Amino acid sequence: MFRAILRAAVMALGLSANAALAETPFIVVQSTTSTQNSGLLDYILPWFEAESGIDVRVVAVGTGQAIRNAVNGDGDVLLVHAKSAEEKFVADGYGVERKDLMYNDFVLVGPKADPAGIRGGADILSALTAIAKAEAPFASRGDDSGTHKAELRHWSAAGADPTGASGSWYRETGSGMGATLNVASGMDAYTLTDRATWLSFGNRGNLEILVEGDPRLFNQYGVILVNPEKHPHVRAASGQRFIDWLTGPDGQEAIASFRLDGQQVFFPNAQ
Amino acid sequence: MQEFSSEFSAAIALILGGDSELWAIVLLSLKVSVFAVLVSALIGMPVGAALAVARFPGRRMLIVLMNALMGFPPVVVGLLVYLMLSRSGPLGVLELLYTPTAMIIAQVVLVTPIVTALTRQVVEMLAEEYSEQLRSLGVSRLASVPVLLWDARLALVTALLAGFGRAIAEVGAVIIVGGNINHVTRVMTTTIALETSKGNLSLALALGAILIGIAVAVNAMVSAVSLRAEQEGLSHA
């Protein structure tokens, strides 16, 4: 009786869970949460997949983790936003060549009550200084992601070191952008976020954009083929085809046509 | 709150309306976890029964270890399996990372200690109960394992259900080794994590409701089967 059930179960499952995997060629792209959570990749990938017949499998993690995974050879293409870390990745021989792909921008969001009084400013450094002075709650990614690296850069340019206040007003979530926005929303904290994730975020609570438009908040994305000389299993031809498409006219046009709330949030700028 | 309840009912409608993408995710969750539990049963039951009847030095230590492993943090298991399956890891050539098979492996590591420890407990009690009979029949301890397992089968179903519960509800390990890739390795728990991070809390909650529904349905099904088996057993006796 029991064995009959087991057998039926195994048969119903098609014996192996891998049977569900299609046999079409694919590449693995290590990317960041902002490109996935905003819906950009879901929007542009079908065009490439239809044209090339190559399935693009996206692993969306923070930039730091994406780069580490790519160093281990667990991906064919890297699509992230932390230029110096990307250049180091290429210089260390893990990537073939870094290409600019597109940019968007960061915005500083915070509670409507705005205890640090920074609303309407266009200077990220003075805004951060005011937050530090007011010791107003600030939620940091704290996860070595591209956004986290950018945030730390701005703190140090502002001449402040908030990490000493870690656990009091400066709160490191160690999580993705969405999870950090949830935390900020829950405790009425300020946080730095990319505009795309912000616009697609559904749980804003009391939060709103307080500071935007500072040229320092510019956020450049790059795309890199993982080096097949370092990792011979890399699907270099398919990966390169994807990069050529992204940085070519079709891909750039697809990126430009993506809208969130009627706004363009990613601006293609491949050379 | 008004907005929340309307969003929530929209999410439920999506689920009941048979949204094909959503059902593919549910199906993949079931495939991965059922397969993982079957593999765990094949490993855990014989090992657990052997631990129950065999006597050797270090046995107590092994039992304590098995019991402790029941509480192994999934995220650590995910990390260990990632390091094994990564292209830079010892099993990298198998190209299993970011596949459903990788998720099955992680769940097997999580579930096997549960099946082993619970089997050991059940079989040990039965073995004590039957010890006179087995001795008089001249059956050696290890040779009695299949008989004991068969007699304990109803209790063992509970052990498998406990394992299934851990497998299907787990997110920390499968998101690391599966990568939460759309249409490939996205399961219910990783979808819930993703929707939560997008701030779509109602959809995430609705998905949680299906997860609970599945757990209840599986338990009810198995309980019906065991009841039936019990009755059959009685009528044959």
> Domain holding A40: CATH number?
3.40.190.10
- Does residue A204 sit in the same domain as residue A258? no
Residues 168-187 of A with CB under 8 A from B: 175-179, 181-182, 185
- pLDDT tens-place string over residues A111-140: 999 999 999 999 999 999 999 999 999 999
Cα–Cα distance between A227 and A91 in angstroms, integer?
Answer: 11
- pLDDT tens-place string over residues B177-209: 999 999 999 999 999 999 888 888 888 888 898
Across the range B19-30, mean pLDDT stands at 88
B-chain residues near A14 (CB < 8 A)? 31
Stretch among A248-262, B64-78, B195-209 having the lowest mean pLDDT = B195-209
For A6, nearest residue in chain B (alpha carbons): B38
**Nearest residue, CB atoms, B182 vs list A58, A71, A203:** A58
ipTM above 0.90, yes or no: no
- Does residue A83 sit in the same domain as residue A208? no
* Position A19 confidence tier, pLDDT thresholds 50, 70, 90: very low
* Position B90 confidence tier, pLDDT thresholds 50, 70, 90: very high
Boundary of a domain, candidates A178, A194, A217: A217
Does residue B3 carry a pLDDT above 70?
no
For residue A8, tell me if it sits in a domain: no
For residue A15, tell me if it sits in a domain: no
Predicted confidence at residue B16, as pLDDT, reads 75
> For A64-217, where are the E strands, in sequence order?
77-80, 95-111, 138-140, 170-172, 191-194, 207-211
Predicted confidence at residue B76, as pLDDT, reads 96
pLDDT, chain A, mean: 91
For residue A11, tell me if it sits in a domain: no
Interchain proximity A17–B87, CB inside 8 Å: no
Does residue A149 carry a pLDDT above 90?
yes
Burial pattern B126-162, b for ≥16 Cβ within 10 A else e, equals bbeebeeebeeeeeebeebbebbbebbeebbbebbbb
* Position B134 confidence tier, pLDDT thresholds 50, 70, 90: confident
- Does residue A38 sit in the same domain as residue A70? yes
Cα–Cα distance between A114 and A198 in angstroms, integer?
Answer: 18
Q: What is the CATH number of domain B20-187?
A: 1.10.3720.10
Predicted confidence at residue B147, as pLDDT, reads 87
Helix ranges (H only) for B17-57 are: 20-53
- Does residue A204 sit in the same domain as residue A136? yes
Predicted confidence at residue B4, as pLDDT, reads 67
**Nearest residue, CB atoms, A2 vs list B99, B153, B198:** B153
Helix (H, G, I), strand (E, B) or coil at A78: strand
For B42, nearest residue in chain A (alpha carbons): A6
- Does residue A120 sit in the same domain as residue A206? yes
Interchain proximity B88–A73, CB inside 8 Å: yes
Predicted confidence at residue B170, as pLDDT, reads 94
Across the range B140-163, mean pLDDT stands at 88
For residue A42, tell me if it sits in a domain: yes
Is the CB of residue B53 less than 8 Å from the CB of residue B139?
Answer: no
Q: Domain span at residue A93?
A: 23-103+219-268
Calculate how close chain B gets to A23, using CA atoms only, in Å: 12
Does residue B1 carry a pLDDT above 80?
no
For B225, nearest residue in chain A (alpha carbons): A2
Is the CB of residue B145 less than 8 Å from the CB of residue B46?
Answer: yes
For A179, nearest residue in chain B (alpha carbons): B197
Phi-psi region of A249 (alpha: psi -120 to 50; beta: other; left: phi over 0): alpha
B215 vs B236: which has the higher pLDDT = B215
- Does residue A67 sit in the same domain as residue A145? no
- Does residue A113 sit in the same domain as residue A45? no
For residue A161, tell me if it sits in a domain: yes
- Check if B180 contacts A (Cβ < 8 Å): yes
Stretch among A36-45, A107-116, B1-10, B29-38 having the lowest mean pLDDT = B1-10
- Does residue A145 sit in the same domain as residue A164? yes
- Check if B79 contacts A (Cβ < 8 Å): no
Predicted confidence at residue B235, as pLDDT, reads 60
pLDDT, chain B, mean: 89
Stretch among A210-214, B104-108, B196-200, B229-233 having the lowest mean pLDDT = B229-233
- Does residue A163 sit in the same domain as residue A200? yes
Across the range A5-23, mean pLDDT stands at 48
Interchain proximity A10–B201, CB inside 8 Å: no
* Best mutation target, A13, A34, A143, to test chain B (most B CBs within 10 A): A13
Interchain proximity B197–A21, CB inside 8 Å: no
**Nearest residue, CB atoms, A28 vs list B35, B98, B199:** B98
B-chain residues near A10 (CB < 8 A)? 38
- pLDDT tens-place string over residues A84-115: 999 999 999 999 999 999 999 999 999 999 99
* Ramachandran angles phi, psi of A113, nearest 5°: -65, -25
Is the CB of residue A193 less than 8 Å from the CB of residue A159?
Answer: no
Interchain proximity B198–A6, CB inside 8 Å: no
* Best mutation target, B7, B29, B183, B198, to test chain A (most A CBs within 10 A): B198
Predicted confidence at residue B237, as pLDDT, reads 46
Across the range A12-31, mean pLDDT stands at 66
Query: Can you give the residue ranges of every domain in chain B?
Result: 20-187
Interchain proximity B153–A203, CB inside 8 Å: no
Does residue A22 carry a pLDDT above 50?
no
A227 vs B137: which has the higher pLDDT = A227
Predicted confidence at residue B236, as pLDDT, reads 54
For residue A82, tell me if it sits in a domain: yes
For residue A231, tell me if it sits in a domain: yes
Q: Which amino acid is at B172?
A: G
- Does residue A116 sit in the same domain as residue A190? yes
Predicted confidence at residue A4, as pLDDT, reads 55
B-chain residues near A6 (CB < 8 A)? 38
- Tracing tokens 């097949």 back to the chain, one arrives at A228
Total of domains in chain A: 2
Paired tokens of B31: 């495939």
* Position B233 confidence tier, pLDDT thresholds 50, 70, 90: low
3-state secondary structure string, A84-108? HHHHHHHHCCCEEEEEEEEEEEEEE
For residue A18, tell me if it sits in a domain: no
Interchain proximity B199–A72, CB inside 8 Å: no
For B153, nearest residue in chain A (alpha carbons): A2
* Position A73 confidence tier, pLDDT thresholds 50, 70, 90: very high
Predicted confidence at residue A18, as pLDDT, reads 44
Does residue A223 carry a pLDDT above 90?
yes
% of chain A with per-residue pLDDT over 70: 92
Does residue A161 carry a pLDDT above 50?
yes
**Nearest residue, CB atoms, B198 vs list A14, A37, A69:** A37
**Nearest residue, CB atoms, B199 vs list A1, A14, A201:** A201
